[in-house]
Structure 1
């Protein structure tokens, strides 16, 4: 079997999870593989069968240590499943050339599904060091300005109309 047939490619369908507080502060993460690139939680489906909400739950826990819905374990921040909202919003965008090698040959576009996750401001964030260098809580407009991804910035700009008060 060749290396090409053994390689596992990313599925070009992902989630973007805007983690925010009731006061419209947004959690941003600085990418470890691209210092200076700030974003919300993102990640691709692991399998075609994985639901988008399951992808969102998994990615949030992997990247921030925040568990959605499960019973709290020692030292782990937990929020109820109702805190995660599917915004029923999808973006199709061109995959940055620097990351195309992660996808099957010829794949150039990704479909991103947007979710919001409301958390308490004092929630403990534990970053995955291989993925992110640091995190920052920012007012929503400032967070949108700091994002390198246009679709991420646009999602954050929608936050005031998406949040239920």
Structure 2
């Protein structure tokens, strides 16, 4: 498997730092053991999904065979066990493996919505004054949001035009 900066081995030394990163980006922490087939298989699925989502969340892997102290801190009793963090809060946790459809449904709790992604892409274009690229993204974000006001407060925080 290729190395990705958003797939991280968690150990006792970096645990606090990784958990703090969930303030900025959703975090999935998977507790597994290489010798445990179900947990090793589920980890492969998690890694594949993390690659597909290209950094929309951090995947933290805890090898319970070598990181028993970390596993004990989370009171892990079944393998695999997965925690979902957003803004440094555990929003969900589940024992056992899932199929891809069920996993994606669970991840939807922490992942940004499509309209949020498009809105932030548009903001990036606006910062470099690429209005032609930003406008269609803003329109799509607004339409995806069912024309709710959820996006509107963001658009008034910074002046778009000078």
Same fold (TM over 0.5): no
What TM-score, normalized to structure 2? 0.23
Q: Which has the larger radius of gyration?
A: 2
Structure with greater proportional strand content: 1
Bigger relative contact order, structure 1 or 2, given CA contacts below 8 A and separation 6+? 1
